Structures are given as structure tokens and as C-alpha cells.
Structure 1
Amino acid sequence: MISTLLSQLNGPDGDRTPRLAYGADYNPEQWPREVWEEDIRLMREAGVNIVSVGIFSWARIQPAQGQWDFAWLDDVMDLLHAGGIGVDLATATASPPPWLATAHPEILPVTASGETVWPGARQHWRPTSPVFRTHALRLVRKLAERYADHPALVAWHVSNELGCHNIYDYSDDAARAFRDWLRARYTTLDALNHAWGTAFWSQYYSDWDQILPPRLAASHPNPTQQLDFKRFSSDALKAYLRAERDLLREITPEVPVTTNFMVMGRTKGMNYADWAQEIDFVSNDHYVSPGPQDRDELSFSANLVSGIAGGRPWFLMEHSTSAVNWQPVNLAKRPGDLARDSLLHVAHGADAVCFFQWRQSAAGAEKYHSAMVPHAGPDSEVFRAVTALGGTLRTLAPVAGTEREPARVGIVFDWESWWASEQDSHPTSLLDYRREALDWYSALLALGIRADVVTPQADLDRYQLLITPVLHVVPAALAKELTRYAENGGHLVTTYFSGVVDENDHIWLGGYPGALRDLLGIRVEEFGPLLDGDTVALDDAATGTLWTDRITVTDPEVEVLARYRTGTYAGHPAVTRRAVGRGSAAYVSTRLGPDGLTALLPKLLGPAAVGSELPDGVGGDVELIVRRGAGSRYLFLVNRTDGTVPLTGLAGELLIGRAEDDGTVVLSPRDVAVLRQPTR
């Protein structure tokens, strides 16, 4: 339904042709009335055609119980419509007002150690609180009924960043809801006791009321209880999302509903792959974390959002024009970063580019967070870059509504493996699931090879090479599916600590990698994690960290691609590949990092007949992403370097970018070019 939204955004002279959306969170309640009309003028100058309004406005809309003030919001909605700007109207339920927390402290979350999370910041509410839900849905109904027919309304924005600060609540409300969730999952206590392995440490439950969330305990809480609480917590917020969504659909069935995910960095509590089907279009917030893989991580996250959205267009709800306020050191972006960051999201399927926020706050916790209009005002480099980006997005209007063209390599990202692999009392506490997946992605980028980041529910058969880093949780059905994939000609690559447990976090017995042991043709009796800072050398000149395995080859079809040269397992296989039917299955038993994987990947890509689609010699200097629509495909060429990169031999109409007379596309540092090619 994002195409419906885009078609409602006014273009020049009222043109309703679908176009890319451009805008920000808009918080006019932070500013006096005389600033609002100036905001509208500057929005039109910058090319803004949509804003999110009302995200943290509950206390302004309902200053006290039974009191409602919509006059200011009516004024804002009317002004925006008159300025030709659509509104993604938030339900304002993200943070309850002080009067509600004072009257009903039972809505406040409780930590694992029993501490109350008090008001003073944001998101101080329990996802399972019936009292909070009653008050929140009353507000949602008021908003929906009042603005159902307002011409500025183009979408609903449920809450804001659900679970950012309140994903895990250990209150009595949560305990009751957790027990209900467990009854639905297991039906009987016998089934729960089996799944949780309660014969260990005398944890057998004889009554449902004995079960609690994994609160602060004397030692490591039951691991399956922890995993189920993660599943429950994601589901509890999903149920809340559904409650708001259902009410909005009842009152405004033609208005699409979304909520902003946070696919980035360490945000892992919400299973967004599971949430995606609950909303009319996927939205995401992303902020760059400074580091050696910063833009690779941006590309990885945007790619994963596209995978969650099934390759369909999605909405970038928030990112930053420059510095943020919440990192240890908040770096300003360099010239060109604002545009490159934004266009990377568009390349991976975003049909909307929005920032937090429109005007930089003068007070409050985020006053040092950049915005489209910074503290310096419109006479600033940031606002000039914002306006230039608005012009670029107008030029790229033909891209709106197109889908991302599938790559030939897929990287599987599995929330349950992320959750389970990083729990306590494991072989190492240093394992970083997301970093391992990102390392593979960075290595492919360094080779100039496109890859899709997808969930296990995707159509895996479309990929010639399928990489499943740390696929720790492997139910029997998934093991069977991966075996079928390889037998039918697919080339599977997996890594250390994969295939180890089933959906109940029970070990697949008989040796590691458990459920994948027969497929890979190897057996591991004992893990060999490495101390922080320790390394092992491989005989192909690579260096391994974090993990090693003592591998025994059990099938004569297994080829050893690399062996350990040093360490406890010197002489043993480190990387293996087994021929399987018309395909193969490979295993990498140590963390090689981006450089080591870049050296290894050609051996794995060769049997899959996958290579770079970029001109010879370009390598990893440029990232290629392709979107495809009716009659055209769009090649996004992103300069990954701080130098100038020439690209020769590329056919197509140059929509944005610079080309020499001989057709050479020239990418300046941190530049993006887009070529349109006709398709049959």
C-alpha cells in the first residue's frame, strides 16, 4: 500500500504521479505558532512532501484525564495540507503523559531485578498493561475519528520505535501474560517441562502459577525460559501493534498503517521478520554507528529491511542529516555523506527518505541531534545539502514503486539464532551473531558482488549461493529444507556454532554441527573457543579468531579447503566443502573477519558460478544495487571510497551522476550515480 501513499503526495502543480516521499518527523508543539508558517515555506523549498506529526504529543493532546486539546493539531494539519504536504499521523501513544503515570503507576515497566522504570524519559509503559492499553486506545480512537477525513492524512504511524526502551518487562502483568502465552504454545505443563528441560536444577513446574519471567536469579536462568521470554516479549509488542492497527482499520480502512522498525546495530529484541505482515508497509529507522564497517552496516541493514519487506518498497522513517546525540562521540557527517546515506536506502528499496527531525530542538534530551533545519538555520551547509537531496529525489521519481532485483547470493539472518546464540553459559560470551553476518556481507561488497539479506522464510531456491552464518537454531524442518536446497543444485555455506540446537534450545545429540552434521559430512566432538586476542593461523594464510572446531571428516565427498596451521587443532580441517547432489555444503569453523572471508569467498563462489557484475578492475570500490520495474531496471552505483572511481562500459540513461564524453561514469568521493536501462 505504499504506492497508494505515494500517489497522494502532491507534486508540482498538483501532479499526483507517484514519486519518492521526502520529509521528517515534525514537532511543531516545540515551537511558537509564528514558526509554523516559516516551516511550511522551508519545507516547500527543500522539496518536502510528507512529515510525521504527533509522535510525542499525548501530553499536549490530553493535558489531563478527560481534557482534550486538538485545536493546535487541527491548525498544523490544515497548514500542512495548504502547503501541499502529506501527513503520516502518529497515534501519540509512544510515551504516556505525567498525569497517567501518576494516577496509574501500575503501567510502569519493571526490570529483571525488580526496579520500577519511572517517568522522565520516554516509553515508560508495560506492553501487557491492560490499564495502559485502555487509555492508549481511547486516544487512538479520538485521533482516528477526528482526522479520518482530513485531506492531509496519508498514513497512520503506530506509536514510535516499539520496544526501543520497554521490550523486556518483568512485572506481574508481564508474568500473567507470559503464562497465557506459554499455555497457548505448549498446552500442557508436561510439554512445557520437556521443552524447558526442567529436570535440570530441580525446576519442574506442577502449576502454571509457579512460572515467572526470567527475573534476577542466583545463577544462569533456564536457557529455554530465556528464549521463550524473548519470543513472548516480541509477541507482546506485536499484539499491542495489532490492537492499535485494528482500531485504525475499523475507523479508516482506506488509510495505510505502519510503525517504524529499528533494523540497525544491536536492536534485536523485536522479531521484525515476524512483524512485517502485520502492517500495510514496512518502515525503518537507521542511524550510522561510526566504525570501519559503518556504511557496510548501513547497506546491510537497508538490505535486511528489503528482505523483511519481501523485496517490496519500504519507508525510511528516520535517519540523521548529520550527528546524533546518543553515541559516546557524536560525529558530524562529512560532505556527501547525507546524500550517499539516503540514496543507499533508496537503492535497497526505500520509497521514502525521512529524517529525525525537521527542526533541531532547542531544549530536551535530543537538542544536539541534527535535523533538516539545524540550530544554524536555513543558511547552513546542512540545509543546502537537504535541499539538494530533495532535488535529487525528484529526479529519481521513476524509481518509485519498483522492487529490488534479486541477487544471486543470499545471506540468511535469523532472529531466533541471534537470540539463542548470544545467551549466557555458552562456549564463549564474545560471539557476535550480527557481526559475523555483516563480515560476510562486507566481504562480498569487497569483491563487488551483490547479495540479498533475507530471513529463513524467504524463497531460498532463487539463490545460487546461500550463506547461513551462525545458524544456531535449526529445527528438523529447516535442516531438511537446507538439504533439499543443496541436493537440487544450491551451494550452502554455514559457520561455527550452527545447527547446534533445535527450536527448544535442546542440543542435537551425536556431535556437532548437530542438525547439519550429515549434510556437511563432518563431525565435531568439542568446541574450541579462543580467548579474546588469541588467534590461529590457517594454511591458506588466513587468520582465525573467536572460535575453532576439531573437525573429523565423515564423508569421502568432503574436500578440505583449508587446515589449521597453528593452535590446538593444528593439522585438522578448518574449512570444508562436501558435494551434495547437484550442489554443495561448506563449513567455516572459525571467525575469519572481512579480510579473511574476502580471500576465501572465491573458492566458494566458483562452484556457484557467481561473479561481480561490475566492470573489470572496479572490485570493491563500488557497491551495485539494482531496482526493477515495468520496462526498466535502475542501477545504483555507490562509491564506497574517498577517492574518484571511473566506470566504463555501462549502458543506460544517467539519471543522476556525472559522465565523460566517452560515456565513462565518474563517481566522486562518496558519490552515487543511477543508470536506467530498458528491459524487455
Structure 2
Amino acid sequence: MNTIRSIIHPVLILVSGLVLSGLRSPGESGSSPPPAPLAGGLPTPLALGQKTPWSGTFSLVNGVLLKDGTPFYPIGFVFGTSDAELAQARAMGANAVHFDLGWRVAPGPGDVPDASFDQTRTTLRRAANWGMAAIPLLTGHYVPGWFSKKYPRAEHEPLGSDGKKTGSWFPYSLHSPALREHIPAFWRAAAKMAATEPNVIAVGAWNEPCYGGTWNRGNQFGEYSQWGLAAWREHLRATYKTLDALNRAHGTTFTTWDDVQPPRKPEEFNRRAWLDWMEFGQRAFADFFAWERTIIKEAAPSLLLTNKKQTNPWDRSTASSGTNWELMGRSEDIFGINLYSGSPFGTRNTLDAASSYADGRPVMIFEINSMPPSAEARTPDAIRTLLWAPLAGGARGMFIFAFIDKTEHGILGAKGANAAGRAEYTRLLTQISTHQRELASPRVAGRIGIIYSTTAALQSTGDLVPRYATGAFNLFRNSHYQVDYIPEERCTPDYLKRYALVVLPTATVLKPRETDAVQTYLAGGGRLWAFGDSLSRDELWAAQPPPAFLGLKDRKPPIGDRRNQQIGQVAPELESYFEGDCQISGVEMVSLVAGDADTILPGAEVRTATSGRVLAWNSDSYPTILQTSTGGRVIYSAFDSGNDAALRGLVEGITREIIGLRQEARFVSRATGITASAIITGLREDYKDPDTRYLIGINTAYRAQKVRLELPDGWKLHSETLHSLETNSDAFTLAPREVYLFTLKNNGKH
């Protein structure tokens, strides 16, 4: 676990758990009848007489959020701040609430009077009286009327590459001088107010900070307003000094600095110009929030800060959105995201990524819910698997959207949930709020790291990088390994030494410094797994030969350009992991063919000369997975890093039997001994005791799984807490679509 400086927040906190000491039970408030539930399927709300004074202290120590020195996991809803709603949420197991605090409270330019926050202060204190922590969001998109009147949006809004408004939650460009002049007064005053309220854990910096290139608008790049262009020109002057130097670098013919424009598509000038523009946009975006952090910390030094980032790096909008998790995360004490996904595995993946980028800080989700958003789709098992999945990925705080009765998002209304679904939300919140130590303890870091190439994502602009990075990730993670993502920006020899195995997915591009770091890591004894087309281009998107450390003499198209094939034969020690033909795409020829490949007839032997050991052959009978150079510490897969169920088993076999890396915990079928890949796993290490771990297991299958739990030498199964499973044996039957929480003990010690 990484050591992060202790941050003490001088506020008071609630006692944990669903049961509050010294309180009467629902209905035990004199002669008054118990309050009615706000919707069918919900428990009886707490009575007004069950309010309790707030007490306790928050701290963030070594990346763990504590209350009075014990782990605290914020769990609750977005919105729902009336007495009736708080009493209901508290009865369901909630211990925290998340809501907006808009800039529009500022009555005019200059300092914002403290009285402007009276309504917010009342809301915070009402939540405190119900024993609820709070994380208010400083919403800059709720603009004061006086500001929008003086500075019309049409003159200050951010513009995309198509000339249209960009940024769902940015009515004003982040480069707008007017915005930058006036919004800091709101930040300062809001921070001072929040820091004095005892139940505030942190404040959020912005709602879903992202330009228009979200998942459904990945071809609108930003930011081309007059303010964005002015900042770009200033940056280029500082970087290139002269217009001649700029024109030579970017392949342009500008005659004055006022003529300088950024490219609107990758090939408009040259790839250097495009990469400069994309990287400038990401830095400028992150710098805005670093600036906000500076202002907030000057006003309230011990107030914690988070942000509600979207999942742009994992869809098709890394380039178009302007967001870079590595850069933006530097301004956060708590790594925050919003997430809507209908896939338990996809949800887990995103949280594993967030936990990797957070690098020891807690990760919290500020908007999430079971998807699709309808009462019919939100069945109990869907709610259970989709909302426990982020915990398997390392989430250490979660707010469900939303505690309202309107729209399909509101779980109190008929569109958003039914009685059975609401009962499951209550079960979920109760389970989480009563297992604070286990779930607020940090995620066990991976020994396998998947490199995420920001450069390639910016140059390719679409979903190429997230698609293949996620594919590589799944090949290991779905075999129950703990796996991290490694941001390209962190590729240094010292950082890579954390990992027993570093993986280069298809389409990985690294700059010279990062490429050298990989080579140094290998020379120091590290292991590398590279997939087809990795390191085949440089940072300017030009083709390049494979680096020597991959152990390949060349990479060519396959014979007959047959890029879609199968793996049909494997080395003997891998046969028990090979469940049948693996579909592979993007096939490469990395062996030397004897004779003229164009004259080989169907059915004839393809004779090749290969450097290294062959682990698998493709359906055209030539090598497709090789153990190559550097003492056999490089595995090369001559195909794309796509996710295929049969390929997952083969990758697991190579990782276990050739590389010698075993899982930290895995469930295997009692019948076949094969990893039960329908089960999602997630490991946490106790925040105090490294010899205690907590294993989340989610059976996503619609049938029971008869499994055995395998652990490393010295580790033993101690207990299971959600269902009180018998743990004298390592054999279990996991019910369909159900969640389990195990405690593991290291009896062998270190």
C-alpha cells in the first residue's frame, strides 16, 4: 500500500452502521404513529425522535478514509435532503448524501456573503441531524443571472471542431477571462462554509468535466472558441518562440501569429500539430482544476477535494473530451467518477482502472445505478450484481442516482424502480453500511499491469486504445488475477518495477522515454507480454520496426492476408487450459517463411524459422504465440488483444505455467478444475493488518456455481459474512446472481 500523507479534516462524524446507539426503533416515538415508507418495498423510515447529534472526526490516512480512526465507506444517494427523505434513506442503511451547491448563490461580483449559503448550511445540518455525512458538489454550470447578463454565453461558450457548442456542463469556456475572474470568489466562500460543517467529508470540483466528445459524440473535438485559440497561440509562442519554428514543426504556412489555428482533424496539418493540440487541451483542462484546488486549499487547507469525472478514457472520447485521468487526478484527494453501465464486468473494469489511476487514494462513485434505467430492467439480481461490481473493482464510496420520484432515474417513482427493486436497494445499502472495515479497506494492487497509451488514444481518436487495452485486461482479470492499468505517463523504470508482468496491448504507442523505461524494466528482470501491432508506430503515428527487446526479426501481414484465424494447437504443458479453437484477429507473420509464401498451395507445409520457443500455432500452421528474447521473459502474441473466452484460458495457462505467476485467489470449477470466469472477484487488504484480506465474489451466471477456492500458500479461508457460509471446507455452491464476502487470513505470515 502506498503511503500518502495524513490529511486530517477537523469535522465530526456519525457512528457507523445502521443501528444508532441510544435511539428508539421506528414507531417508538411517543403516541405518534410510525411514518409511512416513501414508496413500496422500502422499510419504515426513522421517526423524527430518532435524530441524533453529530459526533466524530474524519481523517484521510494512507489513502483510507477514517472516522474516529476506523474505516468509513460513504454509501447513499444523490439528492433526497428533506427530513422525510433522509429518514427513509437512513432506514435503508445510507450514511451519506450527495447534492449540488451552485455558483448561482453568488448575489453579485466580488466576495460572496456567508449568508448566501444559508440554505445549503440548513441542508447540511439537517443531514447531520440524521447521522448523514455529505459531499456537496460545487456546480459551476449553475451560473448567476447577473453574470450571464453581463457576459452573454454566446460570446464565451466553448466551441467544438464543428463550430457548435461543446461541453454539456460548461456554459462558459474554461479559458474565458470572465469566468476565471469571477468564479474563484464562489469557490473560496463555499470552501470556507463547507469546512466549518462537521459532516462534510469533501467537496466536488465540477459536474462531469468534459468537452462535447462524450461517448456519443466522439468526433467533436475542442476547444475552438476565441478564448481557447488565444490560449493555444500563447502556448505555441512559449514553446516554439518563432513563427518559422512553428511552421516547420507543424507543417503549416501561417504568416502572422493571429493567423495561427489548431487542426480540426488529425491529418489537417501533420501529426505533430495534432498531438501538440490534443496534449495542450488535456493539460489546459487539468490545469483548470489544479487552479481550482489551489484556491480552495488556500481558503480551507484541510478540506478534501474530489471531482465527478466521466469514463472518457474507456469509451471513444479520450481525444475529443479533453479529459486525462492521470492529469486530472492530481488535483484530487478522493478520486471521483460517475459511471453508468449495464455490464457487471465493464463496471468492475472501470473501477479497477480508477483504482489504478488513484494510486492508493480512495475511489468514490458520485453517480451510479443499475442500467437500463427502468423498473422492469432493475430486477433484484441486476441491482445486486451491477452495484456490487464496482466494489470488486475497488470503489470505496458510492452514491446511487437518484433519491427522487420523477424520471426513469428516480428510484422512488414507478418509472425507476418497483417494490422488489427497492427492497434490493435496501439490502445493498444495509450490507455495505454494516461492513465498513472490509469495504473501506484498500484494494489489493495488481502484479500485472496493462499499459494505457494516451498518445495512441489521442492520435487514433476513436475507441482503438480502450478496446484493445480492455481486451488485454479481461484476458487476465477474468481469470481472477488482480490487474492494474499503467498510464503511459507513469512508464518509468521505478514505477514498472511494481509489476511482475507488464502487458503491451494492441495499438500501444510509447514515446522514446517510455520505450526506454520498458527496456530498462526488462533488463532488470521484468517480464513483458506484447500483443500484435504494439509499438508498431511512433508518437507521430509513423510506422516503425519492432524494438529489439521484443525479440522479433520482423512483422509482416499473414500469408494471403488471412488476418482472422484460430489457434488450433498449443504446447503440451498448456493443453489442460486449452478448451478449443480460439478466435484471433489481426494475425501477423513474425516468423521467416522458407521459400516463396505466394507459391504455397493449400494443405502444404508452411516451413518457418522462428526465434524463440513456440507456445501456440494458428490455423494456417505457423507460430502465433512465442516466448522470445531477454532470457525468455518476453511473450509475443502475433494477433490483436481482443477478449475471447477460449483465449482467456490459454493466457491463464501461459501466465501460470510458463511465466510462473499464480492468482492471489481464484474460484475453480469442482468438476473441471478450470477457473470459473463467470465469477467476478475483488481483493482488499485490511487497512491495518496485511495478513487479513477480504475477497468479494460475485456469481454473475444465472445458474449455481459449484466451485473450490484456491489461495496461495499460507493463506486460509476464515469466514464468509453475507451468507454465513460454512468455511471448514474450500468447496462451495455459489447461488445464481449472488454476492459473497470472504475473510482470508495469512497463517503462514510473510
Which bracket does the TM-score occupy, shorter chain normalised? 0.7 to 0.9
SS at match of 1:175: helix
592-601 or 313-322, which moves further after superposition? 592-601
Matches within 5 A, 1:203-352: 203-205=252-254, 207-215=256-264, 220-263=268-311, 264-268=314-318, 269=321, 270-289=323-342, 294-324=343-373, 332-352=377-397
Contact 2:697–2:741 (CA under 8 A) maintained in structure 1: yes
Partner residue of 1:601? 651
- Give the drift of 1:193: 4.6
The match for 1:463 among 499, 510, 516 is 499
518-527 or 78-87, which moves further after superposition? 518-527
Partner residue of 1:10? 14
SS at match of 2:535: coil
Contact 1:7–1:19 (CA under 8 A) maintained in structure 2: no
The match for 1:633 among 680, 693, 696 is 693
Partner residue of 2:180? 133
Q: Does residue 114 of structure 1 match 2:163?
A: yes
- Give the drift of 1:654: 1.7
Give the residue type in structure 2 aligned to 1:180.
Answer: E
Matches within 5 A, 1:187-202: 192-193=246-247, 195-196=249-250, 198=251
Give the residue type in structure 2 aligned to 1:670.
Answer: R
Partner residue of 2:564? 535
Change (3 A) 1:210 1:80: same
Equivalent pairs: percent with the same residue? Answer: 19
340-349 or 248-257, which moves further after superposition? 340-349
The match for 2:514 among 478, 491, 500 is 478
CA distance in 1, matches of 2:291, 2:80: 25
Change (3 A) 1:446 1:114: closer
Partner residue of 1:74? 121
Q: Does residue 49 of structure 1 match 2:95?
A: yes
Partner residue of 1:614? 666
Partner residue of 1:667? 734
The match for 2:681 among 624, 640, 647 is 624
Give the residue type in structure 2 aligned to 1:535.
Answer: N
CA distance in 1, matches of 2:618, 2:667: 35
- Give the drift of 1:603: 5.5
Contact 1:542–1:592 (CA under 8 A) maintained in structure 2: no
Q: Residue deviations 1:581-639, cap 9 Å, x none?
A: 36224243345542353254146313211234325424313233211122221122221
Change (3 A) 1:447 1:18: closer
Q: Does residue 584 of structure 1 match 2:634?
A: yes
The match for 1:654 among 698, 720, 727 is 720
Calculate the TM-score normalised by the size of structure 2: 0.75
The match for 2:445 among 406, 413, 419 is 406
Matches within 5 A, 1:9-48: 9-11=13-15, 12-13=20-21, 14=55, 16=68, 17-26=70-79, 36-48=82-94
CA distance in 2, matches of 1:529, 1:239: 50
Q: Residue deviations 1:106-148, cap 9 Å, x none?
A: 2212221323459xx6432212111122232232233234444
CA distance in 2, matches of 1:586, 1:224: 30
Unmatched tracts of structure 1, length 5 or more: 29-35, 424-430
Contact 2:368–2:399 (CA under 8 A) maintained in structure 1: yes
Give the residue type in structure 2 aligned to 1:614.
Answer: R
Unmatched tracts of structure 2, length 5 or more: 22-54, 57-67, 214-220, 570-580, 594-608, 670-674, 710-715
CA distance in 2, matches of 1:463, 1:37: 50
Give the residue type in structure 2 aligned to 1:643.
Answer: R
266-275 or 9-18, which moves further after superposition? 9-18
SS at match of 2:380: coil
Change (3 A) 1:623 1:4: farther
Calculate the TM-score normalised by the size of structure 1: 0.83
The match for 1:433 among 447, 456, 465 is 465
CA distance in 2, matches of 1:229, 1:624: 40
Greater Rg by CA: 2
Contact 1:461–1:490 (CA under 8 A) maintained in structure 2: yes
- Give the drift of 1:676: 1.7
179-188 or 253-262, which moves further after superposition? 179-188
Q: Residue deviations 1:276-309, cap 9 Å, x none?
A: 22211211211114xxxx2221111111111001
CA distance in 2, matches of 1:484, 1:122: 43
CA distance in 2, matches of 1:529, 1:249: 62
Give the residue type in structure 2 aligned to 1:443.
Answer: L
Contact 2:83–2:126 (CA under 8 A) maintained in structure 1: yes
Q: Residue deviations 1:396-422, cap 9 Å, x none?
A: 211255222233322222322222234
Change (3 A) 1:520 1:95: farther
Change (3 A) 1:62 1:378: farther
Q: Which runs of 4+ in 1 moved over 6 A?
A: 63-68, 376-379, 526-531
Give the residue type in structure 1 aligned to 2:229.
Answer: A
CA distance in 2, matches of 1:347, 1:474: 30
Change (3 A) 1:147 1:335: closer
CA distance in 2, matches of 1:189, 1:500: 32
Q: Residue deviations 1:284-336, cap 9 Å, x none?
A: 211114xxxx22211111111110011443212221145348xxxx9723323
- Give the drift of 1:272: 0.4
Give the residue type in structure 2 aligned to 1:265.
Answer: D
CA distance in 1, matches of 2:337, 2:497: 27
- Give the drift of 1:577: 3.0
Partner residue of 2:427? 388
Give the residue type in structure 1 aligned to 2:625.
Answer: V
Change (3 A) 1:474 1:207: farther
CA distance in 2, matches of 1:627, 1:646: 24
SS at match of 1:54: strand
Change (3 A) 1:417 1:378: closer
Partner residue of 2:602? none
CA distance in 1, matches of 2:589, 2:438: 50
CA distance in 2, matches of 1:82, 1:669: 40
